[in-house]
Structure 1
Amino acid sequence: MISLWDTRGTEVVKALAAERRSAGGVTSGMALSLIVVVDEAQVHEAEAAATIAAAAHPCRLLIVVRTDIDRPQSRLDAEIVVGGRLGPCEAIVMRMWGRLALHAESVVMPLLVPDVPVVTWWHMPAPDRIATDYLGVVADRRITDAAQSGDPTAALRARAADYAPGDTDLIWTRITPWRTLVAGALDARPTAISAARIVAPAADPTAMVMGGWLGARLGITPTLEHTDAAPRMRSVELSCPNGDVLRLVRDGDSAQFTRTGEADQQLPLVRRPLGDELAEELRRLDADQVYADALTAMSGARGLDVRPAHRVHVWHDPVGAGAAG
């Protein structure tokens, strides 16, 4: 491990090359470059998740910690780890203060692995318009997390308004177990569905995306019912034209599946670690059409699938905007 204090981007590049030589260098096995944008308070959580994901997807991990952009003097501290505490990857943790934090790409771009995809993950509230963040524009795939926002519902709608092919959100990833169970139930005995009801807390954004997915796939408008009896999405109920009902009800780390005229079943519904969710999204580097369809049904936004995948950077100075206000 190499630690550089109050350094420059060129020194980070040189130190990484030196550390790679001493560790044997593994760039030829890199599948992608993963940029993580995070606040100082959540660095350890982001590192733990990225370490899990990197075990499944060999990558160069570039963690950008933006701190105190109002600070009059810029500063860069960097920690370089090759095959160490952050798993089998090349990792650089960069803490940026002052105006440098608004121009993180000046340090990050020379560190990207040549000729491999770039993924950017915000483990913090993402910009309303990703085009205002160069680290998002340069990426082939962009991972946000509406749950990090103070208003996840508004954040999801912002993601729909700003969507470009290659975007995804970890709220979508978190309903993968639910989608798997629902799809499995319908595949086991195909049947028409005429209505759907989702029971979840009012503040749980997964219910909105689940409703969007059901609406897009089944051509219906699901009903959302709020409850204070559970901290997360509680149940999904599907009604058939003949009166039969299919119901999945969360019970701890499992779900009880009931279907009219059949015996109840207990199915696994385990909440996964953040690193497993991130690893799932790194499995695909193309546009997620099913996610786009769910966003369309959830928000009413149209034409998401025909928007250009290539983003154009739009410079936005949050310091200047604040001063103007």
Structure 2
Amino acid sequence: MIVDLPNTTTSNVSKRIQSLRAQGGVIALGRVLTLVVITKSGLEEEAIEAANEASREHPCRIIVLAAGSPEEPTRLDAQIRVGGDAGASEVIVLRGFGELAEESESLVAALLLPDAPIVAWWPNGAPENASETSIGRIAHRRITDSANEIDPQRALENIRDTYRAGDTDFAWTRLTNWRIKLAAVLDQAGSSPVTAVAVEGASDSPSTILLGAWLRQALEVPVTIVPGPVGTGIRGVQLTLTSGEIRLLRPGLSVAELTQPGQPAQRISLPRRSLRDCLAEELRRLDPDEVFGDTVRSLATSKMHQVSLHEQGILDLEAFGVPA
């Protein structure tokens, strides 16, 4: 069921939700959190679809702030989606125009679930400082996606410079399966120490940079980033041990090949993660991701706030004949 409320107020939206519940009990109870999605009008449907799918695992109230044009007369259009149009949740889409086009806590305050955690998600157009935005200040977790930004590397640098406990980024969430596989491989390697690491991935991929930083911090060895074609994500990791080399290579989108000294090559499932998978994982935890915090802050090796990652030797493009 979809109910449109043009030129309305959040108070009227709240009353209509209560009315729908009284009429048919169509609104799911037992919701565990409020997910606030901050985006622009016309870009919201992909995020709503992912949130609906994730809500089947984490029942929640989804509030979408889909900013309209600030040049139009000030008004608020709303839409309530329940039942089959809202997964295991209820979806409230707020389209603000004019003075209401700006992200604001006042737009969502009357619609937040009482005594429930708040998760803020910017699927695109991440703010300069998520924790200092109107919504970010009231959220327990703040999710961005640096890979969706115009300059992904600059977006990652910005997260490094403004990081606060509770921040996370889908560039990190997409690494979960890689980190699990690599941790298992290293565990099987036993006492043979790792002496060097090479990570091959797209030069525009913040996930590539974060994986290299995580491995460098965890293993305390030099890590080299081998840049691949733009838009391809992570392609592979090579671990140099005193006993030989371990390679985990994913040439396609879902299957990787693992080669280890003295063992036959293995084909293992390592699919690229969907938006739904990433969101569902982040909604499983409401405490700060300390490993992400340590990893993203480790990118800063200078007291200067605007140090390029190229200058840190993490993404050494010039070493591979590619101009920085």
User: What's the TM-score bracket when you normalise by the shorter of the two chains?
Assistant: 0.7 to 0.9
Corresponding residue number in structure 2 for 1:100:
100
Secondary structure, counterpart of 1:299 in structure 2: coil
Q: 1:230 to 1:109 in 2, by over 3 A?
A: closer
Alignment of 1:1-325 (within 5 A): 1-24=2-25, 28-71=29-72, 73-102=73-102, 104-190=104-190, 191-228=192-229, 231-240=232-241, 242-252=242-252, 253-300=254-301
CA distance in 2, matches of 1:75, 1:246: 59
Q: 1:85 to 1:301 in 2, by over 3 A?
A: farther
Unmatched runs of 5 consecutive residues or more in structure 1? 303-325
Render the CA deviation track for 1:114-157: whole Å, top value 9, x for unaligned: 11110000011211112442111110000000012101111011
Check whether the contact 2:257–2:265 (CA below 8 A) recurs between aligned residues. Answer: yes
Q: CA deviation at 1:107?
A: 2.0
Runs (4+) of structure 1 exceeding 4 A deviation are 25-28
Secondary structure, counterpart of 1:171 in structure 2: helix
Residue identity over aligned pairs, in percent, reads 36
Check whether the contact 2:172–2:210 (CA below 8 A) recurs between aligned residues. Answer: yes
Check whether the contact 2:67–2:101 (CA below 8 A) recurs between aligned residues. Answer: yes
Q: CA deviation at 1:271?
A: 1.5
Check whether the contact 1:212–1:296 (CA below 8 A) recurs between aligned residues. Answer: no
CA distance in 2, matches of 1:32, 1:283: 11
Check whether the contact 1:80–1:91 (CA below 8 A) recurs between aligned residues. Answer: yes
Q: CA deviation at 1:26?
A: 5.1
CA distance in 2, matches of 1:227, 1:26: 47
Q: 1:230 to 1:61 in 2, by over 3 A?
A: closer
Q: 1:141 to 1:230 in 2, by over 3 A?
A: closer
CA distance in 2, matches of 1:130, 1:14: 30
CA distance in 2, matches of 1:4, 1:299: 47
CA distance in 1, matches of 2:29, 2:231: 47
CA distance in 2, matches of 1:20, 1:153: 45
Report the residue type matching 1:94 in the other structure. Answer: L
TM-score, reference length from structure 1: 0.88
Q: CA deviation at 1:255?
A: 0.6
Q: CA deviation at 1:28?
A: 4.4
CA distance in 1, matches of 2:76, 2:231: 44
Tell me the matched-pair count.
300
Q: 1:34 to 1:163 in 2, by over 3 A?
A: same
CA distance in 2, matches of 1:122, 1:193: 38
Which gives a bigger RCO, structure 1 or 2 (Cα 8 Å, sep 6+)?
A: 1
Check whether the contact 2:204–2:231 (CA below 8 A) recurs between aligned residues. Answer: no
CA distance in 2, matches of 1:120, 1:229: 29
The alignment's C-alpha RMSD in Å is 1.8
Unmatched runs of 5 consecutive residues or more in structure 2? 304-324
Check whether the contact 2:67–2:103 (CA below 8 A) recurs between aligned residues. Answer: no
CA distance in 1, matches of 2:232, 2:28: 43
Q: CA deviation at 1:41?
A: 3.0
Report the residue type matching 2:111 in the other structure. Answer: L
Structure in which a larger fraction of residues adopt helix: 1
CA distance in 2, matches of 1:230, 1:78: 36
Q: 1:192 to 1:26 in 2, by over 3 A?
A: farther
Q: CA deviation at 1:194?
A: 1.4
